[in-house]
Amino acid sequence: MNVIVKNHDESWKDLFQAEAKQIREILKDELIEIHHIGSTSVPNLKAKPIIDMLPIVKNIESVDKYNDKLAEIGYEGLGEFGLPGRRYFRKGGENRTHQMHMYQIDNEKEIERHLAVPAYLREHEDEMKAYGELKAQLAEKFPTDINGYMDGKDAFVKEVERKAIEWRKANK
């Protein structure tokens, strides 16, 4: 997978909305809410142009019965994909355009983690800019090595995640 990091694109919000509409139509009453998460949800943050989504559902086991319908709109279902309690879907293959990290409503720890980081970065411009620059540098260094790119930002992401969760708790 090629690693491409771009300046923020306002169309990412619209791409999320269009995709969320289709997902709502498929999941119907199983879906509680769907959030635009990840770097593409943070204005002015450089990002890989892949729309990350967080659908929150009533029952994670029930999601599996929607795999065929989600495949019809281009999603490859990969099950938990290394994280118990999650259902992971990606769209676009090697040229991925969207990915979903789906959790059951009572999986508060994972839901909070995914919501806290972009909220924190929206409110902490210096860290948002530093993260964007790190991603741009890593994309230049590892243009065809997604693992090198991910490893290079791992410590920064873990630290921001820790701060973001503390920040959200203090500001609730």
CA distance 57 to 106: 9
CA neighbours closer than 13 Å in the CB half-sphere of residue 121: 26
Local mean pLDDT, 10-residue blocks, the chain (172 residues): 93 98 98 98 97 98 97 97 96 93 97 97 97 97 95 97 95 84
Supply the pTM of this predicted model.
Answer: 0.94
Residue 8: its pLDDT value, please? Answer: 97
Query: Has residue 57 been placed in a domain?
Result: yes
pLDDT of residue 122: 97
> Is residue 157, in this structure, part of any structural domain at all?
yes
Residue 107, number of CB atoms within 10 A of its CB: 18
Q: What is the pLDDT of residue 91?
A: 97
The per-residue pLDDT for 16 is 98
Residue 112 lies in a domain: yes
pLDDT of residue 93: 86
The verdict on residue 129 lying in a domain is: yes
Is 46 within a domain?
Answer: yes
2 lies in some domain: no
CATH number where 96 lies: 3.30.460.10
Strand-pair partners of 23: none
Q: Per the domain annotation, does 67 fall within a domain?
A: yes
Residue 1: per-residue pLDDT? 77
pLDDT given for residue 161 in this prediction: 97
Residue 3 lies in a domain: no
Domain count for the chain, please give it: 1
3-state secondary structure the chain: CCCCCECCCCHHHHHHHHHHHHHHHHHHHHEEEEEEECHHHCCCCCECCCEEEEEEECCHHHHHHHHHHHHHCCEEECCCCCCCCEEEEEECHHHCCEEEEEEECCCHHHHHHHHHHHHHHHHCHHHHHHHHHHHHHHHHHCCCCHHHHHHHHHHHHHHHHHHHHHHHHHCC
Cβ-based burial of 27 (10 A; exposed 0-12, middle 13-18, buried ≥19): buried
pLDDT at 18: 98
Q: 141 is in which domain, residue-wise?
A: 11-170
